[in-house]
């Protein structure tokens, strides 16, 4: 961790002078807040925030992700050029506390316009009774995966529209209309989930890591994570036994692995317990370039309904 922090600090210092010959991942060189065609340059730290920015900005913005498509975004590192781009962009949309390299770049480069999704996401501490609850267990961490609750993601549309309006006031009505359209689409998606998961034989979902807590809370499911919030954490033998006990006691028929994360543990556990293995997408990155946030969420709903025996 100390080494990673030292490397991140070095990158920030070098960004002022190393402006050429650097390999970028997902970010083109941004030299001003506006592109040559007048569009606002927007940097989003990872895919769900990119999706909202694209939907709200439409053709009036160029949106680029700081996390490479198809890559796991939790531990993203930034090149010197990416760090510089954070300061040069017209708008930066990120989630504070989720990607330390992005937090460092925002603090160092101080972009003129920033939207922090944490301000509207109402993040919950794992193990707590609710947002900001004093009953959170000692050492509990904030769960960043708010975008898997469409209602929470919809709340981001307004702040993005407001920030774009501050930069480009002549198109204020367009940004407001686009934000309203997005909120409506996400409201429809939320309603589809509520209907689709209302009557099911089972309500427990066993997942490879605890990425689906907001989704589970929203639709009255119970998430049982093999690992915690980190997708790289190795479960202990005791935890695997706990999972096996839940599977047997609750009649769980499916164990879910995820896109972008090795399915080995989940698949091995499913085989040992004699249940099915399936894949849920936590929508942390655009793993399928032929789909988008809404398409992936609709596919997740179909998979969940089959696994939970929903009517």
Domain CATH for 117 = 3.40.50.1980
| 245 & 168 share domain | no
Residue whose structure tokens are 């006031």 = 169
Cβ 198 vs Cβ 166: under 8 Å: no
Distance (Å, rounded) from C-alpha 50 to C-alpha 7?
26
Last residue of a domain, one of 191, 206, 238: 191
pLDDT (tens digit, 9 = 90+) per residue, 88-98? 999 999 999 99
| 112 & 203 share domain | no
Residue 174 has pLDDT above 50, yes or no: yes
The boundaries of the domain holding residue 253 are 198-308
Picking from 141, 290, 311, 149, the residue whose alpha carbon sits closest to that of residue 227 is 141
User: Which residues does 176 contact at the CB level (< 8 Å), separation at least 6?
Assistant: 161, 165
Residue 234 has pLDDT above 90, yes or no: no
Residue 70 has pLDDT above 90, yes or no: no
Picking from 182, 217, 207, the residue whose alpha carbon sits closest to that of residue 277 is 207
pLDDT confidence band for 1 (50 / 70 / 90)? very low
- In this structure, the strands spanning 124-125 and 254-258 are unpaired
pLDDT (tens digit, 9 = 90+) per residue, 72-90? 898 899 999 999 999 999 9
Q: What is the mean pLDDT of residues 281-292?
A: 90
| 215 & 252 share domain | yes
Last residue of a domain, one of 191, 211, 246: 191
- In this structure, the strands spanning 142-143 and 124-125 are antiparallel
Q: Long-range pairs for 216-220 at CB < 8 Å and ≥24 separation? A: 217/124, 217/149, 218/149, 218/151, 218/190, 218/193, 219/193, 219/194
| 179 & 202 share domain | no
Distance (Å, rounded) from C-alpha 153 to C-alpha 52?
8
pLDDT (tens digit, 9 = 90+) per residue, 34-56? 776 889 999 999 999 999 999 99
**φ, ψ of residue 24 in degrees (nearest 5):** -110, 155
140 inside domain: no
Picking from 161, 124, 167, 164, the residue whose alpha carbon sits closest to that of residue 146 is 124
DSSP 289: T
pLDDT (tens digit, 9 = 90+) per residue, 131-162? 433 334 445 789 999 999 999 999 999 999 99
Task: Calculate the average pLDDT of the chain.
Answer: 87
Model confidence, pTM: 0.86
């Amino acid at each position: 961790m100390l080494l990673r922090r030292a490397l991140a600090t070095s990158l920030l210092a070098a960004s002022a002078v190393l402006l050429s010959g650097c390999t970028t991942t997902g970010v083109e060189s941004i030299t001003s807040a506006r592109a040559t065609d007048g569009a606002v340059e927007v940097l989003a730290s990872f895919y769900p925030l990119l999706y909202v920015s694209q939907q709200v900005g439409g053709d009036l913005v160029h949106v680029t992700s700081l996390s490479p498509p198809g890559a796991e975004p939790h531990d993203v590192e930034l090149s010197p050029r990416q760090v510089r781009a954070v300061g040069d962009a017209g708008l930066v949309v990120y989630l504070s506390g989720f990607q330390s390299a992005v937090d460092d770049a925002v603090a160092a480069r101080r972009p003129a316009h920033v939207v922090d999704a944490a301000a509207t996401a109402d993040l919950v501490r794992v193990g707590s009774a609710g947002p900001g609850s004093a009953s959170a267990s000692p050492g509990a961490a904030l769960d960043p995966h708010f975008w898997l609750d469409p209602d929470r993601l919809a709340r981001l549309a307004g702040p993005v529209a407001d920030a774009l309006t501050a930069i480009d006031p002549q198109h204020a009505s367009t940004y407001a209309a686009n934000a309203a359209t997005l909120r409506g689409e996400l409201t429809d998606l939320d309603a589809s989930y509520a209907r689709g998961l209302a009557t099911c034989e089972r309500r427990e979902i066993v997942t490879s890591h605890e990425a689906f807590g907001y989704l589970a809370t929203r639709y009255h499911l119970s998430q049982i994570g093999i690992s915690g919030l980190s997708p790289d954490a190795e479960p202990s033998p005791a935890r695997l036994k706990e999972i096996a006990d839940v599977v047997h006691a609750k009649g769980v028929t499916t164990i879910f692995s995820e896109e972008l994360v090795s399915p080995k543990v989940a698949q091995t556990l499913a085989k040992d317990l004699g249940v099915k293995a399936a894949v849920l997408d936590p929508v942390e990155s655009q793993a399928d370039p032929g789909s988008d946030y809404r398409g992936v969420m609709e596919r997740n709903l179909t998979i969940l309904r089959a696994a939970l025996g929903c009517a």
